[in-house]
Amino acid sequence: MNILILGGDGYLGWPTAMRFSQQGHSVTVVDNYFRRHSCDDLDTGMLYPVPNLVERAKLWHELTGLEIKVKIGDLCDKQVLDGVFSEARFSGYEWAIEPNFSGVPDTVVHYAEQPSAPLSVSNYYYADKTLINNLQVTNNLIWAVKEYSPQTHIIKLGTMGEYGTPNIDIEEGWLDVEHKGRTQKFLYPRQASSVYHTTKIMDTDLLWFAVRTWDLKVTDLMQGPVYGIETEESAIDPRLNTLFNYDEIFGTIVNRFITQAVVGYPLTVYGKGGQTRGYLNIKDTLQCVEMSAKSPAQQGELRIFNQIMETFSVNELAELTQKVGNQMGLDVEIKPIENPRKELEEHYYNPTYQGLVDIGVEPHYLTDDVMRSMFEVVMKHRENIRKDVIFKGIKW
């Protein structure tokens, strides 16, 4: 397959690129380094330095003989996508560093979004940036696929946060509604709790419109918070490891708790800690995307999967981190702090997540061993961890 990955430099994008390349697919990645530049601008710190995308692709080629084609460009500029789809040459575009791209993509994996909920509510500038970036890239993608290649399968990363925490069971994307004796299937009601999560709802609405109107084929993966560092491909050489944030803006909870435990920073449980979410290992993100690409949605179908493997409350994650950390000789303290977020701290949570297993995904669970192996990697980089970026208190 020809696979195009938008946002190929990010936490999930780069490991996804290596996975498809390792399996013999032709892979092109596009990125504008938004995440890296934001980490610099916001002084968030990273667990270890990561080579840039061009250097990573070069390293990948040296180590495996395989090629990942790189284009550096801002996908808010429609011409960047047009260039990839139409093979047009735009002289003067610095991103056109790979002249041999051939063929429209069979699958586009869309990760090219501002992914941080705290950042999206931190101030007007980032709220606006999140809205414009996320919606514009999705709109550009829809139009590029419609104009150049309507048979291309779009795999869009959604988020479980689109559903919020309703007091009823969460279905996989759709809900049959009976009203005054008639029935209709609708998108499951969504009620997000950040500007970022709201853009994901809007993405879904745009794609659903495009599916109904132009028969595009789309898979929407409603992903929970991801944890983990290593994947099968990064085991080839640690320089291939994905970027790892542990700060309040870009770090997700499990990665943060392990890092906090390693440097003796009390685990930052927000509020009562009863907030429950669905979680998954980064290895399973790769499996889910891979299986979705192998069994695509049909033309004119918006297929939605809940991409989580198990659920935990914040307190359960803190206790697990403390238990494993203490077994490894650390002295892990848990310290609930006032919740900077506007969210329910005690609630019902019962999502369905069977669809991806049905198409062949074999879940990895957050066992003590999995957590221990994450601790080992983080401990190797202990000297890089900055306590001052762990909690700055971005309020909703």
Query: Does residue 313 bind ligand USQ (CB under 6 A)?
Result: no
Q: How many Cβ atoms are within 10 Å of 344's Cβ, its own excluded?
A: 16
Q: How far is the CB of 100 from ligand USQ (least distance, A)?
A: 33
Could you tell me if 363 and 357 are in contact, meaning their C-beta atoms sit under 8 angstroms apart? Answer: yes
The smaller minimum CB distance to ligand USQ, of residues 212 and 342, is found at 342
Binding mask 12-51 for ligand USQ (x = CB under 6 A): ----------------------------------------
Among 161, 173, 296, 325, binds ligand USQ (CB under 6 A): 161
For 142, the enclosing helix (H) or strand (E) is helix 124-148
380 included as an active-site residue: no
Closest CA to 202 of 130, 266, 294, 305: 130
Please, which residues have CB within 8 angstroms of residue 65's CB and are 6 or more apart in sequence? none
Residue nearest ligand USQ (C-beta atom): 161
Bridging pattern class, strands 2-6 and 107-110: parallel
Q: How far is the CB of 200 from ligand USQ (least distance, A)?
A: 7
The smaller minimum CB distance to ligand USQ, of residues 177 and 337, is found at 337
CA 332 to chain CA mean position, Å: 28
Strands (E), the chain: 2-6, 26-31, 68-72, 107-110, 153-159, 174-179, 182-187, 217-223, 226-227, 276-281, 302-307, 310-313
Closest CA to 114 of 57, 217, 42: 42
Tokens 């435990």, residue located:
261
Would you state the torsion angle of the CA atoms of residues 106, 298, 22, 284, taken in this order, to the nearest 10 degrees? 140
Q: How far is the CB of 225 from ligand USQ (least distance, A)?
A: 4
Catalytic residue among 159, 165, 199, 268: 159
Among 28, 116, 152, 292, binds ligand USQ (CB under 6 A): 116
User: What SS3 class is residue 185?
Assistant: strand
Among 153, 256, 283, 303, binds ligand USQ (CB under 6 A): 256
Q: How far is the CB of 39 from ligand USQ (least distance, A)?
A: 14
Q: How far is the CB of 93 from ligand USQ (least distance, A)?
A: 29
Tokens 């494993």, residue located:
324
Q: How far is the CB of 130 from ligand USQ (least distance, A)?
A: 11
Query: Does residue 224 bind ligand USQ (CB under 6 A)?
Result: yes
Query: Does residue 334 bind ligand USQ (CB under 6 A)?
Result: no
Catalytic residue among 71, 156, 200, 217: 200
71 included as an active-site residue: no
Query: Does residue 343 bind ligand USQ (CB under 6 A)?
Result: yes
Tokens 């990064």, residue located:
234
First CA to last CA distance, the chain: 43
Query: Does residue 7 bind ligand USQ (CB under 6 A)?
Result: no
Among 314, 320, 361, 374, binds ligand USQ (CB under 6 A): 314
Strand order in the sheet with 153-159: 68-72, 26-31, 2-6, 107-110, 153-159, 217-223, 302-307
Candidate segments 138-146, 157-165, 182-190, 202-210, binder of ligand USQ by CB under 6 A: 157-165
Query: Does residue 228 bind ligand USQ (CB under 6 A)?
Result: no
Q: How far is the CB of 341 from ligand USQ (least distance, A)?
A: 5
What separation in angstroms does the CA of 131 have from each of 125, 193, 240? 10, 14, 31
Candidate segments 44-52, 61-69, 112-120, 181-189, binder of ligand USQ by CB under 6 A: 112-120
Tokens 């109107």, residue located:
213
Catalytic residue among 196, 227, 279, 353: 196
What separation in angstroms does the CA of 278 have from each of 76, 118, 231, 313, 345? 30, 19, 20, 9, 15
148 included as an active-site residue: no
Query: Does residue 198 bind ligand USQ (CB under 6 A)?
Result: no
Among 231, 268, 281, 287, binds ligand USQ (CB under 6 A): 268
Among 159, 241, 281, 322, binds ligand USQ (CB under 6 A): 159
Q: Which residues are catalytic?
A: 159, 196, 200
Residues in the site for ligand USQ, rule: CB under 6 A?
115-117, 159-161, 197, 223-225, 252-253, 256, 268-270, 275, 277, 314, 341, 343
